[in-house]
Structures are given as C-alpha cells and as structure tokens.
Chains A and B, each alone.
Chain A
Amino acid sequence: MTNELNRRSFVGKAASVAGAAALAPLLSACGGGGDRQTGANSESGLKKALPAYVPSTSLKPDIPSVSNGPDAATDPGFLHYPTEHPTTVSGVPGKGGKYTAVTPLWGTVPPPGNSFYQAMNKALGVDLTIKPADGNNYATIVPTMTAAKRLPDWIQLPTWWNAAFSVGQLAGSQLADLTPYLSGDKIKKYPNLAAIPSGAWQVGAWGNKLYGIPGGSTRFATAGTVFYRRDVLEPKGITADDVRSADDLMSLGKELTDAKRGVWAFDQVWTYLFPSWDVPATWKIEDGKLVHKYELPQFLEALDWHHKLAKAGYMHPDALADTPSNTRFYSGKVLIVGGGTGTWNLADYQSGTAANKSYRRDAFNYIAADGKSKPRAFMGGSTSIVSYLNANLKPRQIEELLAVADYLAAPYGSREYTMVNFGVEGVHHTMKDGAPAATDAGKKYVQPTTYGFLAQPPGVISNQGAPVVTKDYAAWQAANVKALYKPVFWNMNISMPQSIATALAAQTVEDTIMDCTRGKKKVSDVQAAITSWKSSSGQRLKNWMTDNVLDKYGTGQ
C-alpha cells in the first residue's frame, strides 16, 4: 500500500465493482441527445489548463523514485516513518468558513463531532462537516443529490462511477471549474497540490477544464500484475528472471501443479496477463485509424493461451468456479495469481505470514508473450479518487477550500500528513519505535478514511514493520517502469450516449471471454460473439469514437 490511509478495504470493494472498467479509459455515459459535449480533452487545450508540476522536496525517501518520462515513475519508498515531520503549510489554511463534504466509507462511520474532527477543524481553520455515506450504496445516494441539484460543498466522485454519476454533465453545471485557480503557475499558491503529478489532474479534467482534485495518485498506475509465492518458488530454483515468455509460464504450470496434494500452479491471471500479447486496454491506433482490441489477432492468441491453461488443469478448480483467491494464495494451494498492485501491502503480509511464517509475495516482471519483443504494459488511470467542489461556491470560498485541500495533500511524513492520517499525538496515536501507533480513539475516529477522499498527496510505498514488502515492491516497480506506456486516450474522460456506452461495455463479449479463460467456451465462441457485437454495435462505437473524439481531440496525448 502506498500510504496509511485505509485504502485497502476500499480497494477490495472497489475491485469487484469496477472490474475491467477500471482499466479502460474513463468513460461517462449520458443518455439521449448526441449534441452534448463529450467531455474529452485535446492535447493543446489540456496543456493550457493543467497545473504546473513542482515535486515536493521536503522529505528524502529511503528508496528514490525512478522515472520513465514525465508521466511514468516508481513510487518513492520509505522503510520507516520519517523521524522529522517538516511543516509544509504555514499558519492555518482556512478563514473560518462553514462547509459540508460527502465521502464514501466502507466501514463503520465515525460519530459526528468527534475529537478528531474537532482537532482537524482547528488545524484547518474551517468548520468542515464530513458526512461519510455507505460506500456500498454510494452509487445510488449521489444521483439523488445531483438530480435535486443539492450537492454538498465538497464531494468525492470515484471515477469508476463517472458514468453512473454523469460527471461529464455535472462538470460545468453543478461542479466548480477550478481552472482559474489552478492552471499553470497559479497552483504554486498551493505547493502541496502542485506536487501532484499532471496525470492525476487529467483524470479530473473535463472538456479542457480542471474540475477534480485528485486523491491518492501514482505515476505507476497499471492494470495489475502476476504475483507468485517467492518463498515457495525460490527454493525450487525459480526466480522472476526465469520467466520471460508465455511458454515459460505454461511450463511452470506443469512443474508446480500437484493436484493430489491439492496444489495448483495458477489462479486467475487473464485480466493481468493479456497485455503481454501487446493487447491494449481498449484501443490502439494503426495507420491513423482506431482499432479495438477485439479486432487484433494477438487478442485471440492471448485467449487461446489462457483457454489452454485452464484446460491443461494447471488452474485451481475453485479459481475456475470464480471464488475469491486470497486464502488459496496464503495457504499455498495456488502459487501464481493475478491481481492489482494495491494488494501488495502490509495487511497482505500480515495475513500471509499468519498462514505461513515464511510467506513472501513477489511479482513476475512484465513479459512479452513471445519472449522476444520488448515487454509492454499499458498504464491505467493515475487516480480513481477525485473530489469536486460545488459550482455555487463563491470564489473566496473555493480559494479557502483549495487551501484546505493543500493541507490535506501534504507529503508523506510531514507534520500535516501526520495530523490527517494519525490525529493528535497522545490522543489518537502514540509514537512507538519512531512510528505513530493508533490508540483506541485513533482506531475509531482517524482510521476510517474521510479526509483522504477529499485530497491526498501522491502515493509512496511504506509498510510500517514490514520493510521487506516495501523493498520487494519498490524493486519490482524499478525493474518494470521501463515497460510502461501510455495507452490511447490515457486519463481522458469521455462522456458518451447510452447506446455507445452499452456497446463499449460489450457485456456479452466480456462474459464469453471470461467463460473462455475458464475453459467453458472455445476461442471460436468468442470470435462469434465478437462478430455479432461488431455488426450490432461495435462498428457504431468505433465510428462514434472516431468522429467525436479522435478526429476532434486526437488521442489526448
């Protein structure tokens, strides 16, 4: 995990909802008329709106970031919580304004007016009432507010619900345009916000204007990766460097599967492995024309490999029945599993070592399926947590809340960060071995993520008490950052009519693909589903994307 905020519980829930949608460019649907704005950004238009990027230098990480171009870089690693807590915000950011904020919460809602909220209001200099709403019902709570045009002053709208919330339409009508306050050098007034990389600001940009304030962002956003049990494979003489092609993986399947002992090599990997066949998230440009991933021959090759993997009996039967994989991986019943990098954290280490003392998670490097080409992995959205301000706020109120956001986005280890994430020393946490440890009040009031949904600093890798996790994860990122590339329409928001959004979701094709990767359907069945999808709606989708997005705005890069 990249920081202390309780994101893992939320990531777990989100993954089941977002699924593959999280990997695709951010899309938003709006019903009816096609005359509405798509919300897409053009390269030049966006450049004018985007804030300057001024990285923070207040704390030196133990493992420095390695970059590959301006948008891809590893997250800095901290082996221990910094002992110095530098101040990054002078004085109190607020001017005593009264505001409400609504954020999703997956967990027990802390009581209103508790000691942490009070301490935060004092530190922020505002009267900010946070109203956490049940994350599981969030998608139904927010539309009632937007339909009644009664949004709070500050609201979190996770990107995987952009379509459900019609954020593309809200931007410009109910959400405040932040471009006049943040574009270019104006952001330097808020140095902690300026330290958030441009990619994350793009996620909150609609129609060449800035609307969203990014939450926990990273320049190493990927669809995920293929993990393995290092503590089991290493003694057998297998290291990540030995796996360079799809064939290598298949032979591992044979070597590691021992069904009689109840051990299978593989759990589900499709979602995280298909990019190895140079299959894009959704779109690719070939000879200046849009090509959907379903149309690529390598897509079928990737499917074929996964189908064979399932048929060969190298996948755990419960994985074929699609039951959750964690316990299987912890107990060593499966040794290779695909997953988001968010699972590579302290909680995972604690659960894993509880099941088996020597437990060690590691990931294979990104591979090219043929073993010869350069490995490539497309990047995902730089953040999925974006908060917005109400359009009815007056300019001075917007400036006040941006100053509050600046406080909330203070870098890892700073005085402000410690306050936002651990509360007041002696009340919500005590310092133990140089790291803040939550007291009972801290567990109750501080740990449920509230402020973190409004603004956050860019992510770091830190796992208090498990430096091995931080080291492994940082080393893996450093070894793989060169494989990252920005896919077409990366971080671009596109609002589309319902019929086009339905075509993009391609539910029948996606269902058939999953059936194929579990050995239930043949590749030819998927081909048939694709053909029928293409004639019924896929071609329309492609034309719409070409006419409304590609021809007007380019690929956004």
Chain B
Amino acid sequence: MSTAEARQARRSERLNWRIRLRRDRTLLIMTVPSIVLLLVFNYAPLFGIVTAFQYYDPLIGVRHSDWAGLDQFTRLLDDPVFWQTLKNTIYLSFVQLILFFPIPIALALLLNTVISERIRNFFQSIVYLPHFFSWVLTITIFQQMLGGAGVLNHFLRTHDIGTWDIMTNPDTFALLVTSQAVWKEAGWGIIIFLAALAAINSELYEAAAADGAGRWRRMWHITLPGLRGVIILMLVLRLGNALSVGFEQFLIQRAAVGHDAADVLDTFSFYYGIATNDYSYGAAAGLFKSVISLLLIWGANKLAHAFGEDGLYRK
C-alpha cells in the first residue's frame, strides 16, 4: 500500500468514526445515564477495596488508617468459620445449579406449548407474582405453612402423625432454601427463555412436522438448539455469581437452622465484619469472594468460547 493510499484509508476511517458517532448520537446519549450510574455506584466504590489491606477506622478515614498488608487475609485463611462458610456457599450454589437452574427452562418450554393466549397469560402472571414478594414475606409464608406450628404440622399433630421438621433442620437447609428460591424466582426466570423461544423461526417447526418429526424430535432438534445460546449465557452468568447465593434469605433463617448451616460468604462479611465494626476483615472476605467470582466468570466464558458459543460477548 502506498503512503497516499494509507493516508486515504486512515482518513476514511476517521470519517467513518465521525459518521458513526453522528449516526449513533441519540443512542449514545441514551446510554450516558446508565454509564454515569455504573461509574458512581459500581466503579467509584471500588476504591473502598483499599480498606481490606488496612486496619480501617472510620473515624480517621481511609487515608490515615494503619496499613495492614495482607494481615486481614492471613486471618481470614486461618479462620475455621470462614472455611465452613465457603464450604456452605459452594454446596448451596451447587444444589441451586442442579435443582434450580433447569426449572425456568422447563417452565418456559411448558408455557410455550400452551396455545390459548388467555390461559398462558394467566399462568404466567401467577408464576411471576412471587418474584415481587420480599424474602421476609416469602419465608413467613413458608413458616406459616411448613413451620413447626404451621398448617402442615398442625394437621399432622392433631391426627397423631409425627411432626415433620422442615424449617429448622440444618441437614435439609440447602433443599429448603432452593425450594424457596424456586417458588419465588423460577417464574421470573422464564422471561428470557420465553423471549428466546419466540425468536425461533416457526417455519422450522412446520417443515419438521411436514417431514414427520414428532413432538420430542422437534424439541430435541429445533427448540433446544435454538435455546442453547441463551442457556449457555445464563450458565456463564450463574457461574460468575456462584459465590452469591443470596443474603436476606440466609440472614433471616440463620437463627432457625444455626450459623453452621446458614452462614454464606455475604452473611459472613456482615456478621464478622460489619456487625462487630471489623470493617477491614469484612472487606477482605468480600474481596476474596470477588476475585474468585471474577476467575469463575472468566473461566466459564473461555469454556463457552471453546465450545463455539457466544458466552458473554462474541469473540
């Protein structure tokens, strides 16, 4: 390429850039508020990470607090409660992945087969509703129904059948919280899958049906491959959030099943950091979690790309 051509190319590139900016101006302006929001509420607070390496004292502030180096992290790794907490978190995350993740997909597939729009809307509204309840309310409902003095156990007791300890049994706590999460959030989780289903070309189904493919064959060869990208995207996001299994749900039920079973990383930061004014220790636990989460999401995204999927972004 001659220098003249190169200059020409660069100029058109620059022009291109200007033209694109002018063309997308409106869209770009529309993103400004959310970028500002992100900067102010997500990026600016990142400076607080520095407290994890200090003996932070809110009175004298970040600038004057004594430097701790990696002391807080050494303390963390020496703390048996922390390891128990990490174990709980990973276990709960695993149980939720196995038992919770497939349910919105199954629900979406089921809903998709309902032809009557009225029935579909009705059903959809019902499964969405619990999403708008707070955790306090959700857990109260569970307590009223399944608690030791709840509807179920009252029935069992009055009929002289032994009672069933559901709400305060640490051994089955993982199943309990997962079923609460399913009841509350599964309906809401189907939205994205329904959107993906709507995007599948209906001609494919007609063609397949004309070729004699049955219901299962159509699902296997058309529906599921159509959903695959979204499923993998959700899975990548889920893995990135593997260490965030929830906070309020555990905070509220911590006393009921005992701290051994209910402490997860987020409640650990709260009880052992904030509640005892040991902010630096809480920050260290939080940072530990964030770093692992970042590695997880990076790894999951790599894996998605390796399988030829889009993952979080197209490569």
Residues of A within 8 A of B (CB): 29-33, 143, 146-147, 163-166, 169-170, 259-260, 262, 264, 316-318, 320-323, 333, 498, 501-502, 505, 507-508, 511-512, 514-515, 518, 520-521, 532
Q: Nearest chain A CB to B33's CB is how many angstroms away? A: 25
- Collect the chain A residues with CB atoms within 8 Å of residue B281's CB: 502
A317 contacts B259, C-beta separation under 8 Å: no
- Collect the chain B residues with CB atoms within 8 Å of residue A146's CB: 58-59
A-B contact list, 18 entries, CB within 8 Å: A30-B57, A31-B65, A143-B59, A147-B61, A163-B277, A164-B58, A318-B147, A320-B168, A498-B277, A502-B276, A502-B281, A505-B276, A507-B276, A518-B255, A518-B256, A520-B168, A520-B170, A521-B258
Inter-chain CA distance A512–B84, complex, in Å, is 14
Contact of A317 with B272 at beta-carbon distance under 8 Å, contacts A31-B65, A169-B59 already known: no
Contact of A143 with B58 at beta-carbon distance under 8 Å, contacts A321-B256, A323-B140 already known: yes
Residue from the list A262, A320, A498 in contact with B256, Cβ < 8 A: A320
Q: Nearest chain A CB to B177's CB is how many angstroms away? A: 14
A32 contacts B277, C-beta separation under 8 Å: no
B272 contacts A321, C-beta separation under 8 Å: no
Inter-chain CA distance A134–B206, complex, in Å, is 61
The chain B residue sitting closest to A508, CB to CB, is B81
Inter-chain CA distance A322–B136, complex, in Å, is 13
- Collect the chain B residues with CB atoms within 8 Å of residue A30's CB: 57, 59
A507 contacts B272, C-beta separation under 8 Å: yes
- Collect the chain B residues with CB atoms within 8 Å of residue A511's CB: 258-259, 271
Q: Nearest chain A CB to B259's CB is how many angstroms away? A: 4
Binds A, one of B24-32, B35-43, B152-160, B181-189: B152-160
Inter-chain CA distance A32–B277, complex, in Å, is 13
Inter-chain CA distance A511–B153, complex, in Å, is 27
- Please provide the 8 A-B residue pairs with the shortest distance between their CB atoms, ordered closest to farther: A317-B148, A322-B255, A31-B57, A321-B256, A166-B59, A515-B258, A511-B259, A143-B58
Inter-chain CA distance A253–B61, complex, in Å, is 52
- Collect the chain A residues with CB atoms within 8 Å of residue B255's CB: 321-322, 514, 518
Q: Nearest chain B CB to A260's CB is how many angstroms away? A: 6
A498 contacts B55, C-beta separation under 8 Å: yes
Does B278 reach chain A (CB closer than 8 Å)? yes
Inter-chain CA distance A32–B58, complex, in Å, is 12
Q: Nearest chain B CB to A267's CB is how many angstroms away? A: 12
Contact of A507 with B271 at beta-carbon distance under 8 Å, contacts A143-B58, A260-B158 already known: yes
Does B60 reach chain A (CB closer than 8 Å)? yes
Contact of A501 with B256 at beta-carbon distance under 8 Å, contacts A32-B57, A33-B66, A318-B149 already known: no
B56 contacts A31, C-beta separation under 8 Å: yes
- Collect the chain A residues with CB atoms within 8 Å of residue B150's CB: 317
Is the contact region of chain A dominated by helix, strand, or loop, or is it mixed? helix
Contacts A147-B59, A321-B253, A518-B255 aside, 14 further interface pairs with beta carbons under 8 A come to A29-B277, A30-B57, A146-B58, A147-B61, A163-B277, A170-B59, A262-B154, A318-B148, A323-B143, A498-B277, A498-B278, A498-B280, A501-B276, A508-B259
Name, among B56, B147, B255, the residue most crowded by chain A CB atoms within 10 Å (CB to CB). Answer: B255
A321 contacts B259, C-beta separation under 8 Å: no
Inter-chain CA distance A36–B100, complex, in Å, is 53
Inter-chain CA distance A498–B61, complex, in Å, is 15
Does B243 reach chain A (CB closer than 8 Å)? no
B149 contacts A147, C-beta separation under 8 Å: no
Name, among B57, B158, B257, the residue most crowded by chain A CB atoms within 10 Å (CB to CB). Answer: B57
- Collect the chain A residues with CB atoms within 8 Å of residue B59's CB: 30, 143, 146-147, 165-166, 169-170
Contact of A501 with B277 at beta-carbon distance under 8 Å, contacts A166-B57, A317-B153, A318-B147 already known: yes
B168 contacts A321, C-beta separation under 8 Å: yes
The chain A residue sitting closest to B281, CB to CB, is A502
Interface positions, chain B 254-301, Cβ under 8 Å from A, are: 255-260, 271-272, 275-278, 280-281
A316 contacts B61, C-beta separation under 8 Å: no
Interface positions, chain B 99-157, Cβ under 8 Å from A, are: 140, 143, 147-150, 153-154, 157
Residues of B within 8 A of A (CB): 55-61, 65-66, 80-81, 140, 143, 147-150, 153-154, 157-158, 167-168, 170, 253, 255-260, 271-272, 275-278, 280-281
The chain B residue sitting closest to A167, CB to CB, is B59
B58 contacts A147, C-beta separation under 8 Å: yes
Q: Nearest chain B CB to A283's CB is how many angstroms away? A: 19
Inter-chain CA distance A333–B147, complex, in Å, is 14
- Collect the chain A residues with CB atoms within 8 Å of residue B60's CB: 31, 147
Name, among A29, A146, A147, A262, the residue most crowded by chain B CB atoms within 10 Å (CB to CB). Answer: A147
Q: Nearest chain B CB to A139's CB is how many angstroms away? A: 9
A316 contacts B149, C-beta separation under 8 Å: yes
Name, among A169, A322, A501, A521, the residue most crowded by chain B CB atoms within 10 Å (CB to CB). Answer: A322
A333 contacts B149, C-beta separation under 8 Å: yes
Q: Nearest chain A CB to B135's CB is how many angstroms away? A: 13
Residue from the list B66, B256, B259 in contact with A32, Cβ < 8 A: B66
Q: Nearest chain B CB to A323's CB is how many angstroms away? A: 6
Inter-chain CA distance A169–B57, complex, in Å, is 11
The chain A residue sitting closest to B84, CB to CB, is A508
- Collect the chain B residues with CB atoms within 8 Å of residue A318's CB: 143, 147-149
Inter-chain CA distance A262–B66, complex, in Å, is 56
- Collect the chain A residues with CB atoms within 8 Å of residue B66's CB: 31-33
Contact of A321 with B143 at beta-carbon distance under 8 Å, contacts A143-B59, A166-B57, A508-B81 already known: yes
- Collect the chain B residues with CB atoms within 8 Å of residue A317's CB: 147-150, 153, 167-168
Inter-chain CA distance A520–B278, complex, in Å, is 27
- Collect the chain B residues with CB atoms within 8 Å of residue A498's CB: 55, 57, 277-278, 280
Name, among B167, B272, B276, the residue most crowded by chain A CB atoms within 10 Å (CB to CB). Answer: B276
The chain B residue sitting closest to A504, CB to CB, is B276
B143 contacts A166, C-beta separation under 8 Å: no
A321 contacts B148, C-beta separation under 8 Å: yes
Q: Nearest chain B CB to A167's CB is how many angstroms away? A: 9
- Collect the chain A residues with CB atoms within 8 Å of residue B56's CB: 31
Q: Nearest chain B CB to A16's CB is how many angstroms away? A: 12
The chain A residue sitting closest to B257, CB to CB, is A520
Inter-chain CA distance A170–B150, complex, in Å, is 50
The chain A residue sitting closest to B278, CB to CB, is A502
B149 contacts A262, C-beta separation under 8 Å: yes
- Collect the chain A residues with CB atoms within 8 Å of residue B153's CB: 317
- Collect the chain A residues with CB atoms within 8 Å of residue B61's CB: 147
Inter-chain CA distance A36–B262, complex, in Å, is 38
- Collect the chain A residues with CB atoms within 8 Å of residue B170's CB: 520
Q: Nearest chain B CB to A459's CB is how many angstroms away? A: 29
The chain A residue sitting closest to B153, CB to CB, is A317
Name, among A30, A32, A321, A512, the residue most crowded by chain B CB atoms within 10 Å (CB to CB). Answer: A321
Q: Nearest chain A CB to B31's CB is how many angstroms away? A: 31
Inter-chain CA distance A322–B148, complex, in Å, is 12
Inter-chain CA distance A82–B140, complex, in Å, is 44
- Collect the chain A residues with CB atoms within 8 Å of residue B65's CB: 31-32
Inter-chain CA distance A32–B57, complex, in Å, is 8
